[in-house]
Amino acid sequence: MLWCRQVAKLAFIPGHLLIPGVVCFVLMGAWLGQTSPGDWVVVMIMGLVGYTMKRGGWPRPPLVLALILGGIMEQTFQITMRVHEGPAWLWERPIVVGIALLCVLTVFLAGRGVIKRKRDKDETVTGEGNEYNPIISLPLSLVLFAFFTHAYFDSQTWPEMAQQFPFTIAVPAVFFAFYALVRDSVDLKKEIGIQGGIAVVWREASSRIYFSEMSAFFGYMIGVLILTLLFGQKIAMPIYMAVYLIRWGKYSPKIALGYAAGGYAVLVLFYDRVMHLFWHPSWLDSWGPEMLPDWIPHWLFF
């Protein structure tokens, strides 16, 4: 309780001062997985997917739950099928029937909510998945429809036990994705007819979804990855922090360099000296340590 007021003050810190630090911890947290640049590529791809889902009107919590619970659900499903020697447990166990009814009710209420939002066009866009742009949602619908269709047909060549769970998931997913694909196509066609062309629709939608800002942000992320391959994280991260604060945050070089120095200290003192993290063997690391004087520890930079 003594620190509640001080912690609450974090909400008043300008966002541009938080973003470089948050990005640093997110990327370094991902690096702890396999200590590979591929971890960062996955983070960036999933960030792009999350951005597309948000701006296209697709709720993101189901994706998070699927990534966390998917393996557990598949294992439990196969165990249940073996114990009951077939799918009879789907209609013989009351708790399963109750959960199925809840799922049907959830889909019904979600569909009714979509219809209501389409009728109330002046309603303020709030909440997860309520921001809808058919020109953004359509490519995602097409990708999901193709993905689940391929998953269904590909799983049919697997052994019977291995194909049961993909079949259970892919069949309803194909229908839902097809419905979303048709809905997005119809809505996009209407918008094109109203606004007079797809270029006008894209220009109006890109301003609503902050497309230029998103592109710039992911450009920074790609820059961090390239700098890491060349110079390593201990140099790439502080450079990103300083450049971001000066160019995007419009802060003075003094503040930006001080922030970058703090980030560098965290990388060296915490991730290197405390956690003994394995750093990426960059291009500079292949010849840089030999150029340093003996009195400078190489772990300060490599």
| pLDDT tens sequence across 170-218 | 999 999 999 999 999 999 999 998 888 888 888 888 888 888 999 999 9
Provide CB contacts within 8 A for 232, sequence distance 6+. 279, 280, 282, 284, 285, 301, 302
Residues of the chain above pLDDT 90, percent: 47
Q: Are residues 132 and 259 in the same domain?
A: no
Q: Report helix, strand or coil for 167.
A: helix
Shared domain check, 298 and 196: no
199 and 231 part of one domain: no
Residue 99 lies in a domain: yes
On whether the CB atoms of residues 111 and 129 are closer than 8 A, the answer is: no
Bigger pLDDT: 46 or 109?
A: 46
- Note the pLDDT of residue 296: 87
Range of the domain at 293: 210-302
Same domain membership, residue 253 and residue 201:
no
pLDDT, tens only, 64-85 = 888 888 889 888 888 888 888 7
pLDDT tens for 5-28 read: 666 666 678 888 999 999 999 999
Q: How many domains, the chain? A: 2
Count of helices and strands (H, E) across the chain: 13, 0
Mean predicted confidence (pLDDT) in 46-69: 90
Q: Note whether 214 and 203 are same-domain residues.
A: no
pLDDT of residue 90: 80
Which residues neighbour 65 within 8 Å (Cβ) at sequence distance 6 or greater?
A: none
**Each residue of 120-168: pLDDT tens digit?**
655 555 566 667 889 999 999 999 999 999 999 998 888 888 888 888 8
Residues 248 and 185 in one domain: no
In the chain, the amino acid numbered 1 is: M
Q: How far is CA 127 from CA 132, 175, 197, 198, 209, in A?
A: 11, 25, 30, 27, 15
Residue 1: its pLDDT value, please?
A: 55
Q: What b-and-e string marks burial along 254-283, b requiring 16 or more CB atoms within 10 Å of the CB?
A: eebbebbeebbebbbeebbeeeeeebbebe
| Cα gap 198→248, rounded to integer Å | 31
Say if residue 113's pLDDT is above 80. Answer: no
Residues 263 and 282 in one domain: yes
Helices 134-155, 198-208: crossing angle, 10 deg rounding: 90
Q: Do 194 and 272 have their domain in common?
A: no
Please identify, among 181, 208, 235, the residue that sits at the C-terminal boundary of a domain: 208
Rounded CA-CA distance 196/242 in Å is: 44
- What does the pLDDT read at residue 164? 85
Confidence of residue 110 (pLDDT cuts 50, 70, 90): confident
Structure token pair of residue 117:
């939002």
